[in-house]
Structure formats: structure tokens, C-alpha cells
Structure 1
Amino acid sequence: MRRHRLAFAATLVALAGFTGSSSAAAPPRDIAVVTVGGQASGPPIQPGFLGLSLENTAIIPYAGDDPRRPDPVFLQLVRNLNPVQSPQLRIGGDSTDWAWYPVPGLSKPRGIRVTLTPRWLAVTHAVAAHLGARLIMGIDLEADSLALADGEATAFERRIGTPYMEALELGNEPNLYGSFTWYVLPSGAHVKGRPPGYDFSSFLDDFSSFAKGLPGPLAGPTTGAPTWLPETGQFLAAEPRVGVVTLHRYPVQTCFVPPSSPVYPTAANLLAPAATTGLANSIAPYVPLAHARHLPLRIDEMNTDSCGAAPGVANAYVSALWALDALFEMARVGVDGVNIHTYPGATYQLFAFTHGRRKWRASVMPEYYGLEMFAQAAPPGSRLVATTITNAEGITVWATRGREGQTRVVLINESLDRRTAAVGTGVAVGTGVAGGTSAAVGTSAAGGDGPATLERLRAPRLSSTSGVTLGGQGFGAETTTGRLAGRSRVAELKPSGRRYEFTLPAESAALITLP
């Protein structure tokens, strides 16, 4: 459960009742030792913890325009992240406040650039029905029209279906309404959605006014602004019809910051503690506020770069290691779910689709591989297990124990000096310097004496945009199935003297499943 930054090696130890009297010899000083033991703690990982956030404009490019036959590759890629679960999909994002469903007698507002059609609604219904999904649907707040909001809500209920509705989310990042352009006049003048002085109190008035006319439950406050987050408690006290607390988090941004900034998108900044541990800690104070009201708190929009484009980072393998770590960090602070944001053309998009000759094809981006490893390592009902580690740096360790009693351990070697680390589960693991070393991993009574399995997440380098593999498999340049393909290289680790031995190369991750 605890995160440790370790550098040359990592030793993973799965202990429950280990007293130090094992028959295994004490590891030398240059051996990193990771201990995984004790009782599982914290709340269980909720079904649908790992969700997706999609722009309105992503539905047709991802799922197609035929509600009778939605893109099966897209559906499978969603299922991979939610095996035997109802996926949580949030549909909105920036396009929430650009969209409308035409209402008789209502003129199209100037800021509208996305029209939600009956076909769009039918495709969204088909996606939800095929997946058994739960949806958080965005409602335009920036247009400041009760009739428009009611028209959208009615269309969602009637044409998508209330059984699939988790909540209606009013607006998107309203903290930007008074400073960001909503539309541009023919004269070139920029028009904002609200006056420059628009603040949290103004938003709360708007939310309350709109909420009265909408069916519940509602989601909000849908912001990640540091100056607005502390108002979460006030928001919840004022809005009893809120059913899901939704906040946003991004670790880095291209806009408005110099390249020297610690939040500018570089591989080093994305792997820094501030981008994962710090990101989760910034949300931690608001989790108990939500839970005190028996409400779930979801980070219903999260990815790497919040503004601008960051090629070589947001679309590269480094984003997979970041996502894997960041999701565990959010679970650590008690968040109930995270929706990773994606849409066509985004630098951080998870996948892209084409359709031809009656067949769908998908290009799957590196970050997705990190999400799939997390889904394997943290199934619903599992809980984080405490870990300790010594004699290492640059390695992060997470462990979970499932409802069936299975212990899974994830190690991420984030060393930027390309050193190889050793990882183990049980008593001790050995590590060494650059050039590749072996690790000895011991197991206590909790782990047993049987074989463990080792699955690796790898790529040629942090900046790689292709060549990523999970357990030796990948999606290739294109996939027509949405499933990992190729020869599986999940290794069986046989114990030797109650230890498992293996290496953890730099810039890689491993998932060890104990017997």
C-alpha cells in the first residue's frame, strides 16, 4: 500500500506472519527487500473503478453510426478494463457545454457546435446496452438555458434509458466560464460563458436553479480548480440531490507554463511523485466529505496533460507507467473510481478506430496497456495490502489481496538511469547495478511454496509510441479483435529455497501473482 521510491533494485516479499526466522539467509546489503504482509486495509476496489470519460464527439468515431451493430472492437477494449463488471462511462467533457438536443421553439444558442441527434442517442443506448454500462451524462450549463438543459435530460432518459443512468452532470469545469472563450462573434470578438467575476458562489446559484428542474441523481461539482476544490463541502451541503461527487485531475499541462516548470509535460515530471502521490493527496481531503454523506467520489476526468498537446509524453509508453501508478494512488486515498479521458485526436487518446470492408480496426496507444495491467492487478473487491521496502530507489510497489485470497504485487521500476532492479515476493529479493541482475524473492506461509506468475509491462523506451507489450503480447499496429495477441510470455516462477528469482529492467513494470 505504501509507495516507495527505490533505485537499483526492488525485492518483493509477500509475508503474513513472517517473523524473520525463515530458512532463507539474510539478504546482503545491496539486496532490495520488499515485504508484503499483514491484513488488507482500506475500502475494497469498487466494481467499475476504472472507467472512461468520453467527449460527446467521440461516440460515433468510436462506436460507429449503426446502433444495430456498434463497433465490437471498441466494446471489447472497454470490457478488457472491466472484466465481469458494469463499466462506468462518463460522456461529456468540454463538449458538454458545446452541445444541445434540438427543442421545438428553442433557438440554437451561439456557443453550440455539437448537435445530439436521434442517431447519436441510439448509438449511445446501444453501447450502454451491450456493455451493461452505467453512464454519467453531461448537461449543458454554460448556455444558461433551463429549456435546453431539460431537453437534453429528457432525451437522455427517453432515448438512452434510465436503467443506464448513473447521474446527470451539470456543466464541465465551470471555474473556466468567466475566463475561457465560449464562442467567437463574426467580428472576431471573444465571448465568455459568464462574466469575468464568475466564482463558486455564482456557480452554486446556477447549479441550484437548474437542479430543481432536472431528474436526479445529479453529479458535480465537476471541477479540478485548486481554488474551487475546497468548496466541495459547501457544495454537498447545499445540494442534497447530488448522487455522485465528481472532480477532475491532471498532473501536467502545456498551456501557460514554461518548459522549466515542474508541471510541464516531460517524462521526468510525469514520473515524479507530484504527478501521482501528490495528485491523489490533492483529492484526499474531499473523500471523507463525500463518504460522510454516503456518496461515491469519482475522478470522472483524468489523464496526463490538461491543456495543449504533449507528443512524446502523453502518447508515449511513459504514460502507461504513470497511469498504472496514479490509479493505485487514487485507490490509496479512498477514491471510488477514476474515468480516464479520451477522444479522437487527443494526444493522450487511448485508441483510434477505422472502418472498412465491413470490419473495424483499432490502433491501441501505450497508455492503455498500463490501464489493462491495473485492471488485472486490482479486481473488484480487492483491497490494498501494506508493503515495506529497503535498499532500493526508483521503484514503486503496490499489493492487493482479492476476495478469493489471491495476493497480487505490482512493481514499477521508474529509474531514469536505465538500471535494472530485482523484485521478489516473500522473504527477500536481490538486485544490482546496471547491466541486469537477478532477484531472489521469498514467500512466507501466506504465499505458499507453489509457483507464482510474472507478467511484464515493457517497451523499448519511455518515449516509445509503439512496441509496448503486456505479458509479451500486444495489439500490434492494428487489432480487429480488441484482445491482446501473440505468444504469451507470462512466466512461471518456481520457488527455490522459498524464494523466487527474477529481474525488473528499468522503465518497466511487473505483476506477480502469488500462489
Structure 2
Amino acid sequence: MKSRVIRTALCGGTPMAAAILFTLPLLAQSQASVSITLDSTQLRRTIPNDFLGLSFEMSSIMAANNNGAYWMSGASTPLSTMLSKIGVKNIRIGGNSSERTPYATTTDAANVDAFANLIQANLIWNVPVKNNYNASSSVSFVQSMYNDQHVSHSYGFPTNIEIGNEPDNDDGTTGSAISYSTWQSRYDTLSSDFRNQINGSILSTGPSSAGCCTYPNGLETDSTYSGSLKSTIGSVTVHNYPLGSSANFGSVSNGDSLILASTLDAKYQTFYNNFNDNASNNGYNVRIEETNSAYGGSNNGVTNTYAAALWALDYFCYMAYSTNMSGMNLHNGPIGSDSGSYNAVSPIGVSSTPLSLQPPGYGLWVFHYGSQGQPLKTTLTNSSGANITAYGLLETNGGETVHVINRTYGSGAVDATVTVTPGGSYTHAQVIYLQQANSDVTATTGITFGGAAMDSNGNWTGGYGAAQTLSGSTFTFTLPHTQAAIVHFY
């Protein structure tokens, strides 16, 4: 797992008996009435196609660490099928291991190129900028990568090189952190060398700092890049683990209360305001290219559980629907981090164990499902104050969707009757649910989307429920506690 120093943080009997059996749980369960109004006259910018991304440690893609095999390649595999199904369109290779030796080989990189090309994902590749900084070696490596992508193959995206990983973090190695001015000087050198010695189309990304916001703010306000060189910056980047270290959870119950807290959305907005809105307003793409709930993974059943599925769904929805963020990459731990970790898929790397979509991966998938278009103004009326969020979208095909997340659970569980007024003139609606068999936020299995789980080959047989006719201009449905739903209007 990653070591980090700086972090911005469902008989019988008579009909009457049956009625009693089904009524008692409902009487014991708190209820809430929620209304959602969508306004299609007030729209935000279209969510970028590659908003949803995954981040992987450099060490995890190296054949030397995978018994000589290539975990990512141009061959169709359960991994490529699964990531395509859940909507991954951006892959970032980096992490702390990218600043260490041994570094990946050019053949390792070529196989990742082929994988990204296969699933049509934009690739961000990291080169070292701290103890292992070497300008000529990086230029040689990127030259090989550029040739593989654009000379030997028809890669559909620019070569995008991330210059350094967490320059402000010593990664547990004393003296490895560097100052902003040192990072900036090395960024300038490499960015110039890549374009002048290889190809002018190459993009440079950074600073991928552990802390917000000195380093990213420094880059986006640097006069060097305020003019014609602005187009050479792929993204201004930073890392974010909103819950800090998982070691501080103390217990599963405390971790669950933190990962499903209603206050998190305000925390996301504050983080965004501290650097991203400024950078976005200045014309830069802004990306959190390494993020997850808490760094260090989890050994206490929080970051790899159903709670994390609901968390990831809300986190990605909030940042995509409520800010001008260009995208986010959920980080996956290194090889061996599978048990009790925070990964979207497991196992990480080559293994005889069948691949499985993990709870955080389910959250990402539900975020992607029905999230192509422009966010619209969404007004949630919730007099009970239940921990429920909603995110409305005008789809590119003209329909509307709204993601609704009921984060209440356990003793605080609340079942909601939700009435939605869409922003357009629609006659039908259908609903698809994310749920866990026992509504157990601590579970790592039993999760379904649209009534079915994704199997180890990336196959899925679920889908929306039956089409229903709107009552006038509104649609009402039930959203039980500890579940999420997408309502599609057409």
C-alpha cells in the first residue's frame, strides 16, 4: 500500500399473517418524502468523455513483477472487458513506485499503450522528478513511447506525460521531497525537451502533488504557460484522499460513519474551490489523477465494502455534476494489495484468481451509467434532512437522468418516497438500482446493479426495470435505505 506523509484529506400463513409479516419491518423503518426538480434551462458544461479514470502503480504493470507476463496488453481479456463496461476512459500509470527503481521498461509501456488503445482510453504516463530524475533518460523513454503510439500504431490521443509524482511528499524516503521551484525547473526542462526533441504535440501534466494547493496553483499561475504554451499542458493535477489515512478510522463503525457522512460533499467543494475553479477559469484542464477514499487502503473493512460503492458513486457524481473538474482517476494499490484494499478491480496484476469488480468499482460503474451529457440544475427538497443526494443530467440523446443516492444505513436508515419532476416533457420513466442483498454497508459481496452482479469475465445481465408512465408531469418511486437508483426519463 501507499505510504504518505502529506494529504489534503429479502411463508406462508393466512393473508392477514402475511400482511403483518411484511408490514412490521416497514413500521420499524423511518420514512421520508423527498422531491427532486430538474431544470433543463440551467445547464453546466458537458461532462468530459474521459472523466472516469483509474490510476495504477507503475510497479503493477511491469512484467518483472508479474512472472514475466503483461497484465495490460492489446489482447482482449476480462480486465479490458470489465473496464470498458464500467466506463473507464482514462488510465494513469504512476504512484510512488514511478519515482523508484526499478522503473518500467519500454516494452512494459508499449503493452500499456496497446491496452489503452484497446479500450480507447486516454493514457497519462509518469516519469520521475525526484531522486531518480534524469532528463536524458526520460526523453529517451518518451521517444520510444511516442513512436509506439503514433508511428507504429494509430493511438487516438496525444502522448501525455506526467512529470513527477508527489514532489512535495518524501514517500517515506528521507530527503526525496523537492521544493516547488525545483519541481518547476525540472518540469520546464522536460516539457521543453519532449516537444523540441521528440514532437511538438506531446503534452505535459503535473504537478500531481500530495498536498493542495501550492504546487498546482504555482503551475497554473506561472507566466511561462499563460500564453501559447498553455496548450502544452495536458492537465493541472493534484491528489486527494478525502478521509485521510484509513489507519485513523479506529473501527469499522467509525469508518462507515466517515465514508458515508453527509458533510463530505461540502468538503469536496472546499477542496475544489482551493485550486481547481481558479485553474479551470484560467483555461486549464484540471484533474485529480490519483484519488480514493483513504490512503493506506483498509484493514478494517471500510474502503473495500459496499459503503465504498455508495461513497465512490456520490464522490464522482458530485465532482462531475457540481464543478468544472475535467476528470478523476480512482487509485488502485500495488500487487498484493487486493485483500482489504480500496481497489476498483481485484486482483491487481497477473493472478490465477478470477477477476472481480470490487465495491468501489461498482460505484464508478453506476456513476458512468447514464452520465453522458450536461448536468442540469437539480433542486432536492428533503424536509426530514435524510442523508440523500441527487444529480440530474440532460443526456446527449435528449432524455434526462437523475442519480439518487440514499446514504442512510443501520440505526439511522430511512426509506424514501421520491417524487421527481423532470425538466422536459417526457411520458415514461424507468429505474435501475444499486443494492446489497442485506443492505449491509460492511459487505464485500452480494452487490448487484440492475438486479445482477458483473461476473468475472465482465458479463452482466441486469438493466433498467419496466417502463412506467408518468403521472402528469411527475414520477414517484421508492428508494430504500442503503441503495442508489438512476431514473431515466424519455
**TM-score, normalisation: structure 2:** 0.79
Which of 287, 303, 316 is matched with 1:314 structurally?
303
| Residue in structure 1 matched with residue 376 of structure 2 by the alignment | 384
| Residue in structure 1 matched with residue 271 of structure 2 by the alignment | 282
User: Are the counterparts in 2 of residues 150 and 214 from structure 1 also a CA contact under 8 Å?
Assistant: yes
Which amino acid letter does the alignment assign opposite residue 463 of structure 1? T
| Residue in structure 1 matched with residue 459 of structure 2 by the alignment | 483
Q: Secondary structure of the residue that 1:201 maps to in structure 2?
A: helix
Q: For residues 286 and 365 of structure 1, do their structure 2 counterparts lie closer, same or farther at Cα, with a shift above 3 Å needed?
A: same
In structure 2, distance between residues paired with 1:402 and 1:40: 14
Structure 1 unpaired stretches of 5+: 1-6, 11-30, 99-111, 183-190, 427-442
Q: For residues 66 and 425 of structure 1, do their structure 2 counterparts lie closer, same or farther at Cα, with a shift above 3 Å needed?
A: closer
In structure 1, distance between residues paired with 2:249 and 2:122: 40
| Residue in structure 2 matched with residue 17 of structure 1 by the alignment | none
| Residue in structure 2 matched with residue 266 of structure 1 by the alignment | 255
User: Are the counterparts in 2 of residues 233 and 286 from structure 1 also a CA contact under 8 Å?
Assistant: no
User: Are the counterparts in 2 of residues 33 and 389 from structure 1 also a CA contact under 8 Å?
Assistant: yes
1:335 Cα offset (Å): 0.3
In structure 2, distance between residues paired with 1:502 and 1:68: 44
The correspondence of residues 173-188 of structure 1 with structure 2, limited to 5 A, is: 173-177=166-170, 180-182=171-173
Q: Secondary structure of the residue that 1:192 maps to in structure 2?
A: coil
1:468 Cα offset (Å): 0.5
Q: Secondary structure of the residue that 1:334 maps to in structure 2?
A: coil
Which amino acid letter does the alignment assign opposite residue 331 of structure 2? H
Q: For residues 413 and 42 of structure 1, do their structure 2 counterparts lie closer, same or farther at Cα, with a shift above 3 Å needed?
A: same
Which amino acid letter does the alignment assign opposite residue 102 of structure 2? R
In structure 2, distance between residues paired with 1:500 and 1:128: 40
Deviations 1:238-272 (A, max 9, x none): 44442321121111133674739xxx971111122
In structure 1, distance between residues paired with 2:223 and 2:451: 50
In structure 2, distance between residues paired with 1:66 and 1:340: 18
Say if 2:93 is the partner of 1:95: no
| Greater fraction helix | 2
Q: For residues 232 and 41 of structure 1, do their structure 2 counterparts lie closer, same or farther at Cα, with a shift above 3 Å needed?
A: farther
1:234 Cα offset (Å): 5.6
In structure 1, distance between residues paired with 2:207 and 2:128: 13
Which of 290, 294, 298 is matched with 1:305 structurally?
294
Deviations 1:426-458 (A, max 9, x none): 2xxxxxxxxxxxxxxxx68x243x331010100
Which of 490, 493, 508 is matched with 2:468 structurally?
493
Q: Secondary structure of the residue that 1:57 maps to in structure 2?
A: helix
User: Are the counterparts in 1 of residues 216 and 238 from structure 2 also a CA contact under 8 Å?
Assistant: no
1:325 Cα offset (Å): 0.9
1:145 Cα offset (Å): 2.0
Which amino acid letter does the alignment assign opposite residue 209 of structure 2? T
Q: Secondary structure of the residue that 2:37 maps to in structure 1?
A: strand
| Residue in structure 2 matched with residue 206 of structure 1 by the alignment | 186
| Residue in structure 2 matched with residue 352 of structure 1 by the alignment | 346
Q: Secondary structure of the residue that 1:391 maps to in structure 2?
A: coil
Structure 2 unpaired stretches of 5+: 1-28, 196-201
User: Are the counterparts in 1 of residues 420 and 475 from structure 2 also a CA contact under 8 Å?
Assistant: yes
Q: For residues 497 and 121 of structure 1, do their structure 2 counterparts lie closer, same or farther at Cα, with a shift above 3 Å needed?
A: closer
Question: What is the alpha-carbon root mean square deviation over aligned residues?
Answer: 3.1
Q: Quick one: percent identity of the two aligned structures? A: 23
Q: For residues 500 and 320 of structure 1, do their structure 2 counterparts lie closer, same or farther at Cα, with a shift above 3 Å needed?
A: same
Of structures 1 and 2, the one with the larger relative CO (CA 8 A, separation 6+) is 1
| Residue in structure 1 matched with residue 70 of structure 2 by the alignment | 65
Say if 2:406 is the partner of 1:413: yes
The correspondence of residues 318-467 of structure 1 with structure 2, limited to 5 A, is: 318-331=307-320, 332-343=322-333, 344-346=335-337, 347-353=341-347, 361-379=354-372, 381-392=373-384, 393-416=386-409, 417-426=412-421, 446-448=424-426, 450-459=427-436, 460=438, 461-467=440-446
Which of 34, 53, 56 is matched with 1:54 structurally?
56
In structure 2, distance between residues paired with 1:495 and 1:35: 14
